[in-house]
Amino acid sequence: MLISVVKEIKPAEQRVAITPSGVAALFSQGHTVHVEFGAGANAGFSDEQYAAAGAMLVGQAEAWASAELLVKVKEPIASEYQFLRDDLALFTYLHLAADRPLTEALLQAGTLSIAYETVQDSTGLPLLTPMSEIAGRLAAHAAATYLTGPEGGPGKLLGGSPGVAPSRVLVIGGGVVGTQAAQLALGMQAEVTILEMSPSRIRQLNDLLGNRARVLMNDPLTLENELAQADVVIGAVLVPGRAAPKVVTREQLGLLQPGALLVDVAIDQGGAFETSHATTYQDPIFEVDGVRHYCVANMPGGVPQTSTKALTNATLPYLLQLANRGVEAALEANPALAKGVNTRAGHIVCSGVAAAFTDLPSVEAASALV
């Protein structure tokens, strides 16, 4: 199979879809791999390393045009829509429920798109988990950074100081992102509260964290009480394939303390806060009603070498299945991978995306594989 890896052109995105070691694994199985010139440079991987692994270095247009299977990190942006076609399989993060223009472009082109974030097996979301882990940790870093005075914050240290109370971090959602954010914030000696809606997950978090953090059932009164005490609120909620639920309304911003910071890790799926909109590392902060928001849409892109290696570790086994079996046979053989299909032949296949865009053509996933 001919597999192409393109350079990411979304603003501030420095990851690349696969490492040279991953290319070598594909090449050893007899596949042809085209890598766009400079695709890995920002993540610390040179063109020479890709060539040594067996890749052919090509330009952007050739990488897209030659591919049977094209692998990326982030969703195509508007300037890349022209490259979509009906005989292309696209394997990347898509987050379509929060992106109508891309959804429409994929449908119009008839592209078979497989989203990392909706591949689902018995363990959960194996291709989303490594980036969620990194994003959760980066959320705690962002909290520590943007509480400081030079970054426009109230001048608080996340962990306080002997005789001075630590900052209060409220994490809404106790999944992978929330757990990682809480653990790193605890490591910086912050006072951490996690709000979660699943009783079984609450028990798991209690076992994991012991008495180092408060883990509470998320109900309206508890949420409002905790918002009023928080220095930082981290939105870490996710419904696979669907738009993120809005867990903090604009009206509730009035409950927050002066100088409070919202960190929205769910922004790729539309955001967990009603007042969120996507930002970039170049301009990460905006203010609504006196409350600062940090809503960087590709947080793991800020640590591209770590992220690229972690992503390749997760995606390569699936990529090898797609290449070795052929896309259709791999999807038929692996139900977890089949759940990643979001669009096919001009129709939405993923139920979460279909729910977001009820006026666009869709089919049941089972029917799409017939």
List pLDDT tens digits, range 36-60: 999 999 999 999 999 999 999 999 9
Strand order in the sheet with 232-235: 214-217, 191-196, 168-172, 232-235, 261-264, 291-294, 285-288
Longest dimension (CA), the chain: 66
Task: Supply the pLDDT for residue 360.
Answer: 97
Task: Supply the pLDDT for residue 298.
Answer: 87
Q: What six digits make up the tokens of 227? A: 């918002």
Of the residues 95, 141, 264, 293, only one is catalytic, namely: 95
Burial of 66 (0-12, 13-18, 19+ CB in 10 A): middle
pTM: 0.89
- State how far the Cα of 207 lies from the Cα of 189, in Å rounded to an integer: 19
- State how far the Cα of 316 lies from the Cα of 310, in Å rounded to an integer: 10
> Distance of CA 10 to CAs 35, 62, 125, 242, Å?
17, 19, 24, 22
What are residue 194's DSSP bridge partners? 171, 215
| Residue 370's pLDDT band (cuts 50, 70, 90) | very low
Phi, psi dihedral angles at 251 (to 5 degrees): -60, -35
pLDDT higher than threshold 60 for residue 366: no
- State how far the Cα of 75 lies from the Cα of 49, in Å rounded to an integer: 25
CATH superfamily of 129-297: NAD(P)-binding Rossmann-like Domain (3.40.50.720)
Q: Which residues of 270-301 are buried (b: 16+ CB within 10 A; e: fewer)?
A: bbbbebbeebeeeebbeeeeebbbbbbbbbbb
Cα 17 to chain center, whole Å? 13
List pLDDT tens digits, range 121-142: 999 999 999 999 999 999 999 9
Please count the residues of the chain: 370
Domain 2-125+304-368 has CATH 3.40.50.720: yes
| Residue 365's pLDDT band (cuts 50, 70, 90) | low
Average pLDDT for residues 312-316, to the nearest whole number? 97
| CATH 3.40.50.720, the chain: domain bounds | 2-125+304-368, 129-297
Show the CA angle centred on residue 87, arms to residues 84 and 89, nearest 5°.
70
Active site residue 264: no
Q: What is the 3-state secondary structure (H, E, C) of 244-305?
A: CCCCECCHHHHHCCCCCEEEECCHHHCCCECCCCCEECCECEEEECCEEEECECCHHHHCHH
Task: Supply the pLDDT for residue 306.
Answer: 97
Active site residue 99: no
| Residue 242's pLDDT band (cuts 50, 70, 90) | confident
Average pLDDT for residues 246-268, to the nearest whole number? 96
Task: Supply the pLDDT for residue 341.
Answer: 98
| Residue 10's pLDDT band (cuts 50, 70, 90) | confident
| Residue 145's pLDDT band (cuts 50, 70, 90) | very high
- State how far the Cα of 192 lies from the Cα of 53, in Å rounded to an integer: 45
- State how far the Cα of 274 lies from the Cα of 37, in Å rounded to an integer: 40
Phi, psi dihedral angles at 177 (to 5 degrees): -60, -50
| Residue 243's pLDDT band (cuts 50, 70, 90) | confident
Task: Supply the pLDDT for residue 12.
Answer: 82
* Contact present, 155 and 186 (Cβ < 8 Å): no
Average pLDDT for residues 163-177, to the nearest whole number? 97
Q: How are beta strands 232-235 and 168-172 bridged, if at all? A: parallel
- Name the percent of the chain lying above pLDDT 90: 93
Average pLDDT for residues 344-369, to the nearest whole number? 86
Phi, psi dihedral angles at 49 (to 5 degrees): -65, -40
Looking at every residue in the chain, the average pLDDT score rounds to 95
- Choice between 60 and 364, residue whose per-residue pLDDT is larger: 60
Task: Supply the pLDDT for residue 42.
Answer: 96
Q: Is 210 left (phi over 0), alpha (psi -120 to 50) or beta?
A: left
Of the residues 99, 231, 264, 268, only one is catalytic, namely: 268
